[in-house]
Amino acid sequence: QITFHFQTLKDDFERTVIDDSREAGIPMEIIVGKMFKLEIWETLLSSMRTGEVAEFWCDAIHTGMYALVSRGMRRIAEGRDPLEGQKHRCGMGNMFDYHSTGYDDLDELQRTPQPLIFIMELFRVRGMAGELPAWGRPGQAAHLLLPMQVEEPSAYKRDTWAMSKEEKLAAVPILHSEGNRLVLRKEFGQAAAKYQEAVICLRNLQAKEKPWEDGWLKLESLVTPLVLNYCQCQLELGEYYEVLEHTTELLQKHNDNAKAYFKRAKAHAAVWNEREAREDFLRVAHLDPSMAAAVKKELKQLGERMRKKHVEDRKRYQGLFQPSRGP
C-alpha cells in the first residue's frame, strides 16, 4: 500500500494545474497489483524513494484513463459517492451514457487525450502480511527495495474499498461488533464510524446488484440495522439533522420501519419540530404496539419541553416590546 500526494499538470506553457491532492487535504493511497485504473502510477511510484518528490512526463498513451480516475477522486474529496448515478456498467460505459464527467476540464481531457505531468511525493509504503512488495522479492532490482523503507506487515490495514466481495461481507459483522463494543463504552463518534464503514461495504456490493431483486434485498436487510445504529450514535452526539436525513432516506424505502420513525421523531423533537415529532411518534405506536409505552413517555416529555419553551419565548418577547425608561 503506497501513500502519496500528487499534482497533475497539463503539458502547456502555463503548466496548468488539473488536480492537487494537497488542496483536497486527502493523500492518495493505492495498492500495487490491484489493477488501479491508471496503471502508469504504479510504475512511477515503484521507482521512487520514501520522502522523495519526483516529476514525470507521461505520453497520452498512458494518460487516457486520467479523466475517469480524477472524476472518482474529486467526488470522494467532495464527500460524494464516486459511483453515484452510474448504471451497472464499467466507467467507460457510463461515459457513453452521460457524455460528461461532470467537470468541464476533465471533459476536455476525455475528448482530447494528451500528455500530462505528474509530480509525486511518496511518504509511506506498507507491506501486506506474509508478503513483500513486488520490488522487494528475490530477483528484483535491489535499489528498489532499500529506498522504499517498507513498514512491518502488521502496520497495514486493508481499506474497505480495496477488498474483494468476500472480504467485504466478512468485514461487515466484525465492524458491526466493534461498533457495538464502542457504544457500550459510550464512544459514540468512533462507533458511528464503524457502522458507517460497514454500510459503505454493503452499498458498494449493492451497486453491482439490480435494485429490489433477491441479492439487493439481502444486502439491504444488513444495511438497515447498521443505519439505525449509526443514527442512534448521532442522536447521542446531538447531530439531529444528520439523523433526519438518514432516517428519511431509510423510510423512503421501508415506510413500515417503526424504529426509523422513532429515531426520526426524537430528532424532530430535539430541533423543536413539534408537529412532525408527534406524527412520527404516533406512527410508531400504530406500527408497533409494543413500543406504545415508550411513545407515551416521549410524548409526555415533548409536551413538557414545548410548554417550557413557550413560557421562555413569551418572557423573551415581552421584554423586547416593553418601552424603555429614561435615566
- Grid coordinates given for 141: 532490482
- Residue 50 identity: T
3-state secondary structure (DSSP) of residue 260: helix
- To which residue does cell 420513525 refer? 261
- Residue 316 identity: R
* pLDDT for the residue numbered 320: 61
pTM of the model: 0.53
- Residue 30 identity: I
pLDDT averaged over 10-residue windows placed end to end, the chain, 327 residues: 92 90 83 77 89 92 86 78 51 47 86 90 74 40 37 50 79 91 93 92 89 92 95 95 94 94 95 92 93 93 87 72 59
Widest CA span in the chain:
94
* pLDDT for the residue numbered 324: 59
* pLDDT for the residue numbered 325: 62
* pLDDT for the residue numbered 138: 37
Q: What is the pLDDT of residues 22-68, one digit of tens each?
A: 887 778 888 877 667 788 898 899 899 888 999 999 998 888 888 88
Rounded CA-CA distance 326/179 in Å is 62
Residues forming beta bridges with residue 119, ordered by sequence position? 7, 55
> For 165-316, which CATH superfamily applies?
Tetratricopeptide repeat domain (1.25.40.10)
15: left (phi over 0), alpha (psi -120 to 50) or beta: left
First to last CA, the chain: 74
* pLDDT for the residue numbered 72: 84
* pLDDT for the residue numbered 76: 77
Q: What is the pLDDT of residues 100-123, one digit of tens each?
A: 778 888 888 888 888 999 999 998
| Residue 55 dihedral angles phi and psi, to the nearest 5° | -115, 135
Residue span(s) of the chain under CATH 1.25.40.10 come to 165-316
Q: Which of 215, 218, 247, 248 shows the shortest CA–CA distance to 231?
A: 247
Is residue 72 within 8 A of residue 36, CB to CB? The reply is no
Residue span(s) of the chain under CATH 3.10.50.40 come to 2-84+94-125
* pLDDT for the residue numbered 131: 42
Q: Dihedral, CA atoms, 306, 311, 313, 314, nearest 10 degrees?
A: 140
Fold of 2-84+94-125: Chitinase A; domain 3 (3.10.50)
Give the distance, in angstroms, between the CA of residue 197 and the centroid of all CA atoms in the same chain: 8
